[in-house]
C-alpha cells in the first residue's frame, strides 16, 4: 500500500497545478470553508469536518453558459461550450460522501439525454478525497450507503495516519496515472487497517426502509408538522452535493448574450409556479415533501439512485434548524407501511 | 422561563390564542422555532442566549395563520419588527399577542401603544463583534471597501436565505423574480450578486430594524446584515427615520420632506 | 501624454425640465461635449437606481441624473422622492466601495441651457481624468466561457 507525507502531498498538488490542471481545494473564507481553485497550496485547509458549499460545483457550477452568441459586424458568432475540450481539473479534499455524490450526480445527468458539459467535466476530473477522522452530529453517511472511508467515486483516497502522513489508496486509472508520474512523492508501507483511524458515524436509519415507507407517505401528516418552521429559502439545496435542479436564464443585450444555467431549489415558492398562475406545490409542506421524496423515494425508484449521501450540509446550513437526519429517523419510526 | 411557560399555558388554556410561536430545543444544542398548540406543551419553550432568529417571519405564514390567533415570543428586535409590520399594514393592530422577552423579563403586549412604548424603551443592541465589523469597514478606503465587498459577495450563491429569514422581506413576488424587465441578473456572478445585495439594501432602507436574522441565516457566512444596517443608518442620519418604533409611521423611502438636505446635487 | 480616452456618459433626465433645458442648449447654439447619451424620462421620480446599475454594468463610464429644481416638479413631488432615493443610493454605493465621482446629480430647469452644457462638459472632463470605469468582473464567468 502507498503512503504520502503531508509535505509531499502539498508538493503533489502544487505539481498538478503547475502542469496546468485546475486544482480545487478547501480554503477558508471568513468562518467557513469553500472549495476554490488554488495556485499555491498555502491557503489549503485540512481541519474541517465538512465544507460549507459542496464540491458539486466542479461538475455542475453555480451558473454556466449553455450557448452564447455575439454579433461581429453582420456575422453572428455562436459559441457552444460543450464543443470545447473541458479543462483538466483535480478536486482535492472532498470527503468520501462527496466523492460518492459526484459520481451519482454525473450518473443522474447522464440519464435519458446525456448532458455533454457535465459528462465532459467528469471525464476530465480527478478526485483525491480525504477520509473522515472526525464527524459531527449532522453526519449520517452510513445511513445513505456511504461511510467515512468509502472508496466510491474517488480516484485516490487518502486516510490520515500517524506521523503527519496519509495512507493512499490508488483506486482508478486516473489515480494511478498521477501516482505513477509522481511516484517519488509516495512511499510503500505495509497494508494497514484504515478503520482504526476513521470517525465513527452510527447508522441513524436504513434508507431502504425509508424508501419503502415513503411510498405510502405522500398524504401523511408528518410533512405539515415538519415543515412549519421551514422559511422556504434555498440554503439546503445550494449546499447539497446532489441537488441538481436548475433554472435557465437569458443574459445579455441585443449584440451579445448567453443562455445560462443557474442553480435553483425546489424549496422556492415560485419553483413550480405555472404561467397560468396555478402552483401545484402551493404550500411549504408540499415543497419540503418534494425535497425528501425526490431524494429518498422518486430517484431511488426511477434510477436506483439515492439522492442523498448524508453529508449533513443542509442541516448545518438551515437557518430554521430543519434537520434532515431527524426527519428521516422520524419517517423510519412513525410512518406505517400500511 | 418559568414565567413564560406559565403565561403560555394560560393563553392556550383560556383560548385567547390557538398557537404560540416560540423557541424550542433544536438539534445539536441549537434552538429552533416551535409552534405550541396545547398547554401541555408549554414547557417545551425555551428562552436563552441561543434564541436569535426573528420569529416575526412566521406571523404571516399561511400554515400558521390557519391555526388561529397567535402569540409570539419576541426579543426586542422582533418587537420592533412587529411594530414596523403594523406600520406597513402587514399586520393589523391587536392581531397578535406579543410576549416580549429580554434577559429575565417578560411583558405581554397586546395593543399598538404598549408595543410602541416597549420598542422605544428597548433599543436593539449589536453584539460587540458587529460593532467592530461596522467600525472596521468605516475605516477602510473606498478601494478597500470595494475589495472587501467583492470578496464577501463572491461567496454568495443566491440561496436567498437572507430574504427568507427577514420578516420585512414579505413581497410575494420579489424584484429578483420579475423578468420583464430583468432588473437583477439571476446568475450568482459578481454583477448579479452586487445587484441583488444593492437592491436588498435599498428596499430595506429605513425599514431594517437590525435584528441580524439575515446574517445568521446566510449559509456562506457573509455579513450581509451590515448592508441593511448601513441603509437604515443613512435613513436615520439623513431623514431622522427610526424604523420599528411607531405603528403609524410612513415609510422612509416613499415619503419626503421639502427640507431634506443634501450637498451633492449641483 | 495625450489623453485619448473618450468616456461614455449616460444622462437620465426628466422630460419637463432638463430635457427641455438641453433642447435650449441646442437652440442657443451652445456647444458641448458629444460623449453624452440622453435618455428621457417623464420625471426624476421614475428614474430607478437599477437603471444606473445597468448603465454602469453595460459600459457607461459616467452617469448624469438631472431633473427639475425642488418645488418645480411637473408632478409636484417626483423630484423630492428622487432626492431621498439618491441620498441613500449614493451612500450605499460608497459603502460598497463604488467611486461615486462618476455619478453626477443635478437640477437643470428648462431655462438653464448654459448650465446643462456646463454640467456635461465638467462631467466629461472629470471622467476623462478618472479613466474608464472599474467594472465588476465576473471572473468565474469568463473563466468558464473560455474553458468550456
Show pLDDT as tens, one digit a residue, over chain C (148 residues). 556 889 999 999 999 999 999 999 999 999 999 999 999 999 999 999 999 999 998 889 999 999 999 999 999 999 999 999 999 999 999 999 999 999 999 999 999 999 999 999 999 999 999 998 877 766 544 433 333 3
Task: Please check whether residues A232 and A184 belong to one and the same domain.
Answer: no
Distances (CA, A) of A127 to A56, A133, A241: 12, 19, 14
Q: B217 in contact with A at a CB cutoff of 8 Å?
A: yes
> How would you classify the pairing of strands A256-263 and A186-188?
unpaired
3-class secondary-structure state, position A190 = coil
Q: What residues does each domain of chain C span?
A: 9-147
3-class secondary-structure state, position B182 = strand
Find the CB nearest B33 among A138, A229, A323.
A229
Choose the CATH number for C9-147 among 2.40.350, 3.30.1490, 3.40.50, 3.30.40.
3.40.50
Question: Residues in chain B with pLDDT < 50?
Answer: none
| Residue ending a domain, choose from A197, A215, A243 | A197
3-class secondary-structure state, position B183 = coil
Task: Please check whether residues A184 and A213 belong to one and the same domain.
Answer: no
Beta-carbon contacts of residue A285 (< 8 Å; ≥ 6 apart): A223, A224, A226, A227, A228, B63
The reply to whether residue A81 touches residue C148, judged by beta carbons under 8 angstroms, is yes
C108 to chain B nearest CA, in Å? 9
C104 to chain B nearest CA, in Å? 7
pLDDT for the residue numbered C3: 62
- SS3 of C61-98: the string is CEEEEEECCCCCCCCCCHHHHHHHHHHHHHHHHHHCCC
The reply to whether residue A83 touches residue C141, judged by beta carbons under 8 angstroms, is no
The reply to whether A73 falls in a domain is yes
Residues of chain A neighbouring B61 (CB-CB closer than 8 A): 228, 284
pLDDT for the residue numbered C44: 96
Task: Please check whether residues A85 and A135 belong to one and the same domain.
Answer: yes
- pTM (2 d.p.): 0.93
Query: Residue B266: closest CA among chain C residues belongs to which residue?
Result: C106
Residue A200 backbone phi and psi in degrees, to 5: -100, 120
The reply to whether A202 falls in a domain is no
Q: A232 in contact with B at a CB cutoff of 8 Å?
A: yes
According to DSSP H, which parts of B57-109 are helical?
Answer: 62-65, 76-87
Task: Please check whether residues A111 and A239 belong to one and the same domain.
Answer: no
Q: Please work out, in degrees rounded to the nearest 5, the angle formed at the alpha carbon of residue B266 by the alpha carbons of B261 and C4.
A: 140
| Residue ending a domain, choose from A197, A222, A244 | A197
Nearest to A172 by CA among A120, A116, A122: A122
Q: What is the mean pLDDT of each run of 10 residues along chain A (338 residues)?
A: 94 95 95 93 94 96 94 93 92 97 95 93 96 96 95 96 91 95 92 92 93 92 92 96 94 88 94 93 94 95 91 96 94 84
| Residue ending a domain, choose from A197, A232, A247 | A197
The reply to whether residue A138 touches residue B157, judged by beta carbons under 8 angstroms, is no
Task: Please check whether residues A193 and A228 belong to one and the same domain.
Answer: no
Residue A89 domain boundaries: 2-197
Task: Please check whether residues A146 and A223 belong to one and the same domain.
Answer: no
Residues of chain B neighbouring A321 (CB-CB closer than 8 A): 26-27, 30-33
The C-alpha atoms of residue A145 and residue A100 are separated, in whole angstroms, by: 9
Task: Please check whether residues A50 and A74 belong to one and the same domain.
Answer: yes
Beta-carbon contacts of residue B85 (< 8 Å; ≥ 6 apart): B56, B59, B91, B167, B168, B170
pLDDT for the residue numbered C2: 57
The reply to whether A266 falls in a domain is yes
Query: Residue B190: closest CA among chain C residues belongs to which residue?
Result: C138
pLDDT for the residue numbered C110: 96
The C-alpha atoms of residue A192 and residue A230 are separated, in whole angstroms, by: 45
Task: Please check whether residues A130 and A188 belong to one and the same domain.
Answer: yes
Find the CB nearest C50 among B183, B191, B260.
B183
- Structure ipTM: 0.92
Task: Please check whether residues A290 and A178 belong to one and the same domain.
Answer: no
The reply to whether A156 falls in a domain is yes
Residues of chain A neighbouring B220 (CB-CB closer than 8 A): 32, 34, 52-53
Give the number of domains in chain A.
2
Task: Please check whether residues A136 and A169 belong to one and the same domain.
Answer: yes
Amino acid at each position: 500500500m502507498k503512503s504520502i507525507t503531508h509535505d509531499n502531498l502539498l508538493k503533489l498538488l502544487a505539481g498538478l497545478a503547475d502542469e496546468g490542471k485546475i486544482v480545487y481545494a478547501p480554503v477558508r473564507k471568513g468562518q467557513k470553508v469553500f472549495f476554490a481553485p488554488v495556485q499555491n497550496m498555502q491557503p489549503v485547509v485540512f481541519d474541517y469536518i465538512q465544507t460549507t458549499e459542496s464540491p458539486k460545483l466542479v461538475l455542475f457550477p453555480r451558473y454556466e453558459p449553455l450557448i452564447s452568441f455575439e454579433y461581429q459586424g453582420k456575422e453572428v458568432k455562436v459559441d457552444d461550450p460543450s464543443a470545447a475540450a473541458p479543462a483538466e481539473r483535480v478536486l482535492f479534499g472532498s470527503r468520501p460522501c462527496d466523492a460518492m455524490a459526484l459520481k451519482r450526480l454525473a450518473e443522474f445527468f447522464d440519464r435519458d439525454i446525456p448532458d455533454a458539459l457535465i459528462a465532459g467535466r467528469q471525464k476530465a476530473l480527478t478526485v483525491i478525497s480525504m477520509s473522515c477522522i472526525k464527524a459531527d452530529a449532522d453526519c449520517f453517511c452510513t445511513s445513505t450507503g456511504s461511510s467515512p472511508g468509502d472508496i466510491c467515486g474517488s480516484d485516490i483516497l487518502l486516510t490520515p495516519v500517524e506521523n503527519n502522513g496519509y495512507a493512499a489508496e490508488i483506486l482508478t486509472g486516473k489515480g494511478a496515472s498521477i501516482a505513477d508520474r509522481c511516484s517519488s512523492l509516495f512511499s510503500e508501507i505495509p497494508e494497514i487497517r484504515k478503520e482504526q483511524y476513521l470517525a465513527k458515524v452510527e447508522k441513524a436509519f436504513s434508507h431502504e426502509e425509508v424508501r419503502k415507507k415513503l411510498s405510502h407517505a405522500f398524504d401523511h401528516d408528518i410533512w405539515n408538522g415538519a415543515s412549519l418552521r421551514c422559511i422556504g429559502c434555498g440554503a439546503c439545496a445550494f449546499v447539497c452535493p446532489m441537488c441538481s435542479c436548475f433554472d435557465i436564464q437569458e443574459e445579455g443585450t441585443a449584440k451579445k448574450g448567453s443562455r445560462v444555467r443557474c442553480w435553483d431549489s425546489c424549496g422556492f415558492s415560485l419553483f413550480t409556479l405555472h404561467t397560468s398562475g396555478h402552483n401545484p406545490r402551493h404550500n411549504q409542506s408540499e415543497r419540503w415533501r418534494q425535497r425528501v421524496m425526490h431524494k429518498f423515494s422518486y430517484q431511488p425508484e426511477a434510477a436506483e439512485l439515492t439522492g442523498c449521501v448524508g453529508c449533513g450540509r443542509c442541516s448545518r446550513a438551515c437557518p430554521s434548524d430543519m434537520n434532515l437526519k431527524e426527519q428521516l429517523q422520524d419517517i423510519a419510526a412513525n410512518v406505517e407501511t400500511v | 422561563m418559568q414565567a413564560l411557560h406559565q403565561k403560555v399555558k394560560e393563553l392556550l388554556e383560556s383560548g385567547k390564542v390557538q398557537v404560540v410561536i416560540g423557541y424550542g430545543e433544536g438539534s445539536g444544542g441549537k434552538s429552533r422555532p416551535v409552534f405550541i398548540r396545547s398547554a401541555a406543551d408549554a414547557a417545551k419553550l425555551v428562552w436563552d442566549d441561543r434564541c436569535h432568529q426573528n420569529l416575526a417571519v412566521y406571523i404571516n405564514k399561511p400554515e400558521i395563520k390557519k391555526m388561529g390567533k397567535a402569540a409570539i415570543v419576541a426579543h426586542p428586535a422582533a418587537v420592533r419588527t412587529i411594530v414596523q409590520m403594523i406600520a406597513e399594514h402587514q399586520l393589523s393592530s391587536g392581531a397578535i399577542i406579543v410576549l416580549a422577552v429580554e434577559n429575565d423579563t417578560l411583558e405581554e403586549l397586546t395593543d399598538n401603544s404598549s408595543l410602541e412604548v416597549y420598542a422605544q424603551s428597548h433599543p436593539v443592541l449589536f453584539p460587540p463583534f458587529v460593532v467592530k465589523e461596522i467600525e472596521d469597514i468605516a475605516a477602510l478606503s473606498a478601494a478597500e471597501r470595494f475589495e472587501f465587498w467583492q470578496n464577501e459577495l463572491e461567496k454568495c450563491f443566491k440561496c436567498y436565505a437572507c430574504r427568507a429569514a427577514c420578516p420585512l422581506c414579505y413581497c410575494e413576488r420579489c424584484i429578483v423574480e420579475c423578468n420583464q424587465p430583468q432588473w437583477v441578473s439571476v446568475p450568482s456572478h459578481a454583477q448579479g450578486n452586487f445587484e441583488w445585495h444593492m437592491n436588498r439594501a435599498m428596499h430595506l432602507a429605513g425599514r431594517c430594524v437590525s435584528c441580524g436574522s439575515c446574517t445568521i441565516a446566510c449559509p456562506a457566512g457573509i455579513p450581509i446584515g451590515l448592508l441593511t444596517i448601513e441603509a437604515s443608518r443613512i435613513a436615520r442620519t439623513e431623514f431622522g427615520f427610526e424604523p420599528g418604533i411607531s405603528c403609524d409611521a410612513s415609510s422612509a423611502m416613499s415619503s419626503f420632506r421639502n427640507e431634506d438636505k443634501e450637498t451633492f446635487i449641483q | 501624454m495625450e489623453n485619448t480616452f473618450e468616456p461614455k456618459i449616460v444622462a437620465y433626465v426628466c422630460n419637463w425640465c432638463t430635457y427641455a433645458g438641453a433642447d435650449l442648449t441646442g437652440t442657443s447654439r451652445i456647444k458641448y461635449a458629444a460623449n453624452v447619451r440622453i435618455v428621457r424620462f417623464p420625471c426624476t421620480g421614475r428614474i430607478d437606481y437599477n437603471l444606473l446599475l445597468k448603465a454602469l454594468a453595460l459600459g457607461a463610464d459616467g452617469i448624469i441624473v438631472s431633473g427639475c429644481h425642488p418645488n418645480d416638479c411637473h408632478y409636484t413631488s417626483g423630484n423630492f422622492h428622487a432626492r431621498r432615493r439618491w441620498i441613500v443610493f449614493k451612500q450605499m454605493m460608497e459603502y460598497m466601495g463604488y467611486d461615486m465621482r462618476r455619478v453626477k446629480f443635478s437640477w437643470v430647469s428648462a431655462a438653464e441651457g448654459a448650465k446643462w452644457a456646463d454640467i456635461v462638459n465638467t462631467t466629461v472632463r472629470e471622467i476623462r481624468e478618472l479613466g474608464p470605469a472599474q467594472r465588476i468582473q465576473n471572473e468565474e464567468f469568463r473563466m468558464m466561457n473560455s474553458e468550456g
